[in-house]
Structures are given as structure tokens and as C-alpha cells.
Structure 1
């Protein structure tokens, strides 16, 4: 059986984090929350939460690194603590945490795979965010020459830590909103299998978002430029891999 923990990146998310932790408590799993240099008011909330949730550990950044940097710190810490798999959960309450049980079952049955939710959106999703996500998915399909990565942006996923730790030691990944798609593409390039589970996602009214339209779109555009040329170098292997998966040879 896999040895699981939960990793939550958090930068000043306080409005729903208590409810998120309460929902997660029923799974009785260790939780690593990475405080990405939040303000003092948020730190006070986090400190109080450690008193209510004995399985909660806070890892603190001295300086803000971005969501991707926080997840990377959480994954590295989890690996050092001896966990085999880490479940990334966002701190903003978007995810349907009832699906965690199914994610755990799929991961236990497929321990080498990265298991991720694939969002089913309701009317709360901002249209520009939806279209931007779809554009990223198209780039990821080009960069992998495959449709196997159904969704590349959802932050509700189970990482096989051995493969992730090796990747993070060998490649410098983006530390902000570019992290989520990049780690999937690079793990695909390393022959890590993927499993996707449809899951309802909501955008809470007045929810806090740290997406910076100008800077993050520039980062993501530069990411896809690098990955595109990385795909060209790997294209013979990617084509052979696709044919092998299709014909079993």
C-alpha cells in the first residue's frame, strides 16, 4: 500500500482553509501546509489550526516563491519524511474533497501513476479562465504528441514522490502558475503513466486568486516555448511511445 500525505500550498488563504482541513480530517492523513511567506494575520490563523489538527505540519517560506515553489517544497519535505505519494490540494476550497477517496483507490491500484482530477465546471467558472486553461491543454497535447494528459491545470492530484523527487533534482521547474502543466509534461516525457478522474470544481464567490494576468501569462507562454522545442528533440521517442501504447509493441 502507498504511504500518503497531503500537501497544501497556501499564500494568505484564510477564509476557507479551516473548512478544507475539517473535510480532510476524515481521511486521517498527515497534512503538510506550505506557508508561502503569508502575512502575520494569516500566520496566526495557521498557528491556531495546528492546535486543532494534530496531523497538520506547517512548512514556512521566508520569501514568497509562488504556488509552484510551495508545492515543490511540500513534495520534497514529504519525500524526506518517507511518504511514497503526496496529494496536492488547493487552499481555496475549489475542489470536491469527497473525491479524495477515489483518488486514493486509484493510486493504490496504480502506484507508479500520477492520478489527477479532471475538472467538471459549473457556471461559477470565469469564461476567460476557462478559455485560458483550454489553450494550455492544447499546448500540452502538442508538447506530448498525445491526448493522454486530459487536464494539465487542476491542482487536485496524487504525485508518485520517487519520480517527482528525481525530476526536481535534475530539472529546474517553474515556481508559479507555470508549475502545474510543466511537471505533468516532464513526467510524461519520463514515461510516468497518468490516470484522470472527473471531479466537480467551483470558483467560490469573492474567492482569492493569486493569478497575475500579465506576468503569469508571460511565464506560461515562455514555458510552452521551451516545452515545444523540448518536444521536437524528443519527438522520435514520443512517436514510438505512442505507437507502442496503441499497438502493444
Structure 2
């Protein structure tokens, strides 16, 4: 197994040396450590490790973020390590055990074309609340909105085959959100992934982590919700147009025809926005526009029909006549259809 270990680090304590020395003792001969703009008081670990032949220190003059630190290492490796199997990213706070690092590397070499994620078990009572809640929430959103099923979305232990590093440089994000973007991009680049169960270690309740629960969580979830924004915006447009059309047609048409005209009229307007925005900004699909439009409107017609039949069924079953109640039934139906539609759009309509 010929791999390069990557350790991004900001203002480390003695744990960074413990991690590197443990890897050296285990036989790892190539360790790239990125000093991400650490202050003068925290330079000793880098100086000590720089003296070791197994270690290479790359330095940012100012703090640029974990994502940029990883990209700096990836670029260096692509230029200077052309004969390795891949890289393994490791956190410098001693949370990743050598045996788990080795297990991830071995599976990467065995699978050859899969990124391997070292995944922790978050069911234990000793897991910090912010980590347990954050991982469960992100995993749920990944699974429901993005069709990516990963049990530990926050893991920093990742074994990446060298052929994928060029793609890793294309992924957006400079700080903690980069690692989330990487996972979301696995489907975009059609990169398979495997999981290896690893020991769950939280030292001093993870106090040395530079993850800001508010700022960095916002960046992470902003990336995820970008995938959902287009459909939500289109749904809002659809409901507004529907409400306007129901008011206009309600006085001149019977209730069934009014709902029919309003449903299809609203969908015609919202679908134009949704299709264009999804292709350009959300899925960044390079599929031919004609092919996308055909698939999109096939899905849109089916979804609209289901929406109409459902709203009509609810209206009839509950004998609804008031406009606000009809609109409310439309909202409930479309929220349910939203999740189904989003998955179909991602895996079929905008497939590159």
C-alpha cells in the first residue's frame, strides 16, 4: 500500500506530533502536513515534525480554512507524488486511530476506484451533543434531498484514490463546508464510496476542534439547501399563481374546472423557472437542453396530474368550498410531491 497521509492543522497542540509519530511508528513514510496559518505560539509541533524525513510541511501564511488546506495538499501531491495509490486525510487531534487509518487505506487499495470513508458510531452516550445532532441532521438531509446515504457526514478520515484528486480540486468551498461539498459531489462525478466502521474518539469533548457550530454549520447547510432552493422557490411561485388563478376563475367557472385551470396554469409558469434554474445553478448539468426539457416536462405533467387529482380528491372528500382551504390542501399535496420530484430530477432529468 503506497499512500500519502494528509493532515491539515491550525494552531495544534502536542496531539499533532502524537498523530504523526504514531503513523511513522506504524510504517507510514510520506506524511504531508498543512500549517493553515497557525500563530507564533503554535509553531513548535511543525518545527519538530519538519525535522523528520517522513514529513513534509506546507504552509499558509494566513488562515485559509480546512478546505483550502486539503486542496493545497492535493495540488502538491499531484505535482510531486505521481506513483502512489492514493491519499488518506487525517485529523491532527488524535481522534483517528492508526488501525482505522490503515483499514481505510487497505480498502481503498482493494476497491481501487472507490473513496473510503471512516465512519463513527454516533449512538453512544459519550458522543458530544453538537456532533450527534449535527451528524443526524446532515445525514437525514443527504438521504432525503440528495439520495446520498452516508452514516457519518462529518468524518475527516477519508481514503481517496489518486485519480480523483483532480476532481477534488474542482469542488467549491474553502473551509469546513468543503468536506460536505466533497460528499455531495460523489454523485456528480459518479465516484463510488465505501464505509469502514472506526472507533469513536472524542478527546476533551473535542475542545481543540476549530469547527464553529453556528458559522460553519450555516455554510454546510447552505450548500445542502442550494439543492433544494429551486424546487422550493418554484413551489412558492406555483402556489402564488394558483391562488391568483383560483380567485380569478372561481367566480366564472365551477370548482372542478377552476382547480384544473389554476393547477396547470400555475405549473406552466413555475416549471419554466424551475427547469432553467435547476440546470444552470443546482445540478450544473451538461446534458442537452432539449433532452432535459423533454424529461422535465414528462415529470412535470405527471406531477401536475397527481397534484390536481389529489387536491380535487381532498376538496371533494372534505367538501371544501372556501378558497383558503383549497389552497391549503394544495400546499400539503405539493410538499409531499416535492421530495419525490427532487429525487427524480436529480437521478433522471438532469443526469449528465
TM-score tier, shorter chain, comes to 0.7 to 0.9
SS in 1 for 2:198: strand
The aligned runs of 1:9-24 (5 Å cut-off) are 9-24=8-23
56-65 or 212-221: bigger deviation: 212-221
Larger Rg over CA atoms: 2
- Alpha-carbon RMSD across the aligned residues, in angstroms, is 2.3
Equivalence for 1:165: 166
Greater strand content: 1
* 1:123-150, Cα deviation, whole Å (9 max, x unpaired): 4421122101111111222343242x33
**Is 1:223 aligned to residue 189 of structure 2?**
no
SS in 2 for 1:91: coil
The CA distance in 2 between the partners of 1:110 and 1:227, in whole Å, is: 30
Of the two structures, which has the highest relative contact order with CA contacts closer than 8 Å and spacing of 6 or more?
1
The CA distance in 2 between the partners of 1:237 and 1:113, in whole Å, is: 25
TM-score normalised by the chain length of structure 1: 0.85
**Is 1:209 aligned to residue 204 of structure 2?**
no
User: Does the C-alpha gap of structure 1 residues 227 and 43 become closer, same or farther in structure 2, counting only changes over 3 Å?
Assistant: farther
SS in 1 for 2:203: coil
The CA distance in 2 between the partners of 1:186 and 1:29, in whole Å, is: 30
The aligned runs of 1:1-249 (5 Å cut-off) are 3-25=2-24, 26-51=26-51, 53-81=52-80, 82=82, 83-121=84-122, 122-147=124-149, 149-169=150-170, 171=171, 173-205=172-204, 207-228=207-228, 230=282, 235-236=343-344, 238-239=346-347
**Could you tell me how far 1:89 is from its partner in structure 2?**
0.3
16-25 or 134-143: bigger deviation: 134-143
8 Å CA contact 1:140, 1:181 repeated in 2: no
Count the aligned residue pairs: 236
* 1:70-110, Cα deviation, whole Å (9 max, x unpaired): 11211221122124411000001111221222212211111
**Could you tell me how far 1:166 is from its partner in structure 2?**
2.9
Q: Provide structure 2 residue ranges, at least 5 long, that are not aligned to the other structure.
A: 231-281, 286-341
User: Does the C-alpha gap of structure 1 residues 123 and 204 become closer, same or farther in structure 2, counting only changes over 3 Å?
Assistant: farther
The CA distance in 1 between the partners of 2:136 and 2:34, in whole Å, is: 28
Equivalence for 2:242: none
Greater helix content: 2
* 1:6-48, Cα deviation, whole Å (9 max, x unpaired): 0000001123111111211113230000000001132232112
